[in-house]
Structure 1
Amino acid sequence: MAWDSEPVIITIAPVGAEVTRDNHPSVPYTPAEIAAASLDAVAAGASVVHLHAREPDGKPSGDPKLFAEAIALIRAKANPIIMVSTGGAVWMTIEQRTLSLEANPDMCSLETGSMNFGDDLFLTSRPDSISSAKLAYQKSIVPEIELFDVGHAVAASRMLGEGHLKGPLNVNLVLGVPGGIDAVPEAIPHLLRPLPGDVRWAVTAVGRHQRRMLAVAMLLGAYGVRVGFEDNVYLRKGQLAKSNAELVEDIAALARQLGRQVATPQQARSILQVK
């Protein structure tokens, strides 16, 4: 496939488990706030919404009711692919992390290994990965495999070979998380090396690495890129983004400057084979 033959899919991650209003005053917490930020981002060019849930005080939550409320508000006004996180927060059990699957999303993130996550330990055993994938498929939810290091790619390939994952895989190469692979162009082929050639790959890069590494990814033919306050709250060095939507507008403009079209939600569903 030529590097520019498919439109690039933009994912918006409006809030994660770590970023707070100390980092940016507009970080959304409630389902209504998360939905509003997501809808603005979809209007700006995002076709996938990657969701975490928060309690009203900002504490990360696995409560499926909070996920379901945000999803219902989004679906009432737009039709992006909705992906829920099963990464949750580092302190959550795998049972808490997979409660989000009860909210009837289109897709879910899925980890295939443990790692040091900054100063914390993020545990995902192989049996946990297998059971999470099984649960997702039972609910007709399409997984996206989150690859923070090469070992995670090797584990995903093994799970595919054993039938625990279904191909072609959707994977997200996560670059620049302290404890994971670094945010350099060479990281991309290293993460893709253990995987089959038909993999559909996207790139996430955190903090100051975001715009540079997403540009590299788009020039290398990435199927998708991800932006949003989960990964980065700055538009440029020292300049906070006004909103999640502004980050989407910026990366969409950059994609077009580089010769890539931006996928609509309908095109994204076709590319990722999400009903």
Structure 2
Amino acid sequence: MRDPVGKPVVIGIHVNENTMREPNPHIPWTPAEIAATAAASRAAGASLMHFHGRTPDGGVDHSTRTYGEIIAYVRAATDLLLAPSMANVPGYSVTQRLSNLAPNQAQPQTRSDFLVVDMGLAAMDLVDPRSGRFVTDDRVFLNDTRTQTELLDRAAELGMTPYLTSFNVSWTRAIVAHARSRPLPPPVVVAFILGGDEFPAAHPASVAGLRAQLDLLPVGVPVEWIVSAYRGSVLEAAEEAIVRGGHVAIGAGDHHYAELGYPSTPELVAHVADLARRHGREPATPEQARELLGVTRRATR
């Protein structure tokens, strides 16, 4: 492993997911709120943002219009790279899942940089942290190989960089298989999503959970990777990622961080930026992130 000291660290933000405002009130829902969080996070050291469309009262909104408004507001406020969620509704076709993003790719002010592609299947049921029992028992997320392939094809057509997510090693092996079987321009961008105790579908939000993923990365496939944690703190794995030359995504949308006093996403970014600097790495600017993650080259093909 090359010495990562001096390599900028991309800090991504997960600003809202499908999270409500109890007990952490710092969850943006409207385009203006998301843009304000984006600008403050950029000032703290972020260079990339993932977000979900929400209604003014926090409901799910997969409309083309809402995503276009969010992106336009963010583009006017900051230069963050954008990796929004697709309309991931059970039973939707690829065309339907892209319906919130694809029409917006035609205009610079509403286009996204990345297409987030989940590279596997998972039981998405959550565990109640108080009782230890499952809250549901029938939530399945289906992303079969044909769907993965079609989404990778559409990413190229739309001028979007694939942002390949992995919950566990089977997903990572699928990513490697795709990279070896088709022309994915390097580097391959991989997002390792770890899970807290509430989310057993993913590797644990720990150093061990991250290392198990990293052990699967072959030498011959150029990868830039970023680690986050859903329903759990990413901070333990974040330090490991920084030391090993990776990148970090964090946000109040992923986890409330009660142990830190329910901070906002910009405050969490500042925490990761301080951690990175202690290990000799500065937060990447969005322009540096473009270069590191291969976005500029792909967007101009």
TM-score by length of 2: 0.83
**Which deviates more, 23-32 or 158-167?**
158-167
Once residues 214 and 268 of structure 1 are traced to their aligned partners in structure 2, the CA distance between those partners, rounded to angstroms, is: 17
Partner of residue 204 from structure 2, selected from 182, 195, 213: 182
Q: What letter matches 1:246 in structure 2?
A: E
Q: Which residue of 1 aligns with 2:295?
A: 274
Contact 2:38/2:78 (CA < 8 Å) preserved in 1?
Answer: no
Once residues 89 and 253 of structure 2 are traced to their aligned partners in structure 1, the CA distance between those partners, rounded to angstroms, is: 14
Q: Which residue of 2 aligns with 1:125?
A: 144
Q: Which residue of 2 aligns with 1:214?
A: 238
Q: Which residue of 2 aligns with 1:255?
A: 276
The residue correspondences of 1:69-218 to structure 2 (distance < 5 A) are 69-86=69-86, 88-89=87-88, 91=90, 93-95=92-94, 96-102=96-102, 103=104, 104-118=111-125, 119=136, 120-163=139-182, 165-176=184-195, 177-197=199-219, 198-218=222-242
Identity percentage of aligned residues: 30
Once residues 139 and 29 of structure 1 are traced to their aligned partners in structure 2, the CA distance between those partners, rounded to angstroms, is: 26
Q: Which residue of 2 aligns with 1:43?
A: 43
Once residues 15 and 221 of structure 1 are traced to their aligned partners in structure 2, the CA distance between those partners, rounded to angstroms, is: 27
**1:50–1:125 Cα change, 3 Å:** same
1:206 Cα shift? Answer: 3.2
1:127 Cα shift? Answer: 1.2
Contact 1:29/1:54 (CA < 8 Å) preserved in 2?
Answer: yes
Query: Which of structures 1 and 2 has the bigger CA Rg?
Result: 2
**1:34–1:123 Cα change, 3 Å:** same
1:150 Cα shift? Answer: 0.4
Is the strand fraction higher in 1 or 2? 1
Contact 2:233/2:255 (CA < 8 Å) preserved in 1?
Answer: no
Once residues 91 and 229 of structure 1 are traced to their aligned partners in structure 2, the CA distance between those partners, rounded to angstroms, is: 25
Once residues 230 and 119 of structure 2 are traced to their aligned partners in structure 1, the CA distance between those partners, rounded to angstroms, is: 20
**1:89–1:230 Cα change, 3 Å:** farther
1:162 Cα shift? Answer: 1.9
1:175 Cα shift? Answer: 0.9
**1:52–1:187 Cα change, 3 Å:** same
TM-score by length of 1: 0.90
Once residues 37 and 45 of structure 1 are traced to their aligned partners in structure 2, the CA distance between those partners, rounded to angstroms, is: 12
Once residues 161 and 92 of structure 1 are traced to their aligned partners in structure 2, the CA distance between those partners, rounded to angstroms, is: 29
The residue correspondences of 1:7-22 to structure 2 (distance < 5 A) are 7-17=8-18, 19-22=19-22
Query: Which consecutive unaligned segments of at least 5 residues does structure 1 have?
Result: none
Structure 1, residues 210-236: CA drift from partner, whole Å, max 9, x if none?
A: 2111112111221x10011221122x5
1:164 Cα shift? Answer: 6.5
Structure 1, residues 64-95: CA drift from partner, whole Å, max 9, x if none?
A: 22111111111113211111123x55646254
Once residues 63 and 164 of structure 1 are traced to their aligned partners in structure 2, the CA distance between those partners, rounded to angstroms, is: 31
Q: Which residue of 1 aligns with 2:3?
A: 2
Q: Which residue of 1 aligns with 2:253?
A: 230
Once residues 15 and 233 of structure 2 are traced to their aligned partners in structure 1, the CA distance between those partners, rounded to angstroms, is: 18
Once residues 164 and 191 of structure 1 are traced to their aligned partners in structure 2, the CA distance between those partners, rounded to angstroms, is: 23
Q: Once superposed, what is the RMSD of the aligned Cα atoms?
A: 1.9
Aligned residues: 270
Contact 1:183/1:209 (CA < 8 Å) preserved in 2?
Answer: yes
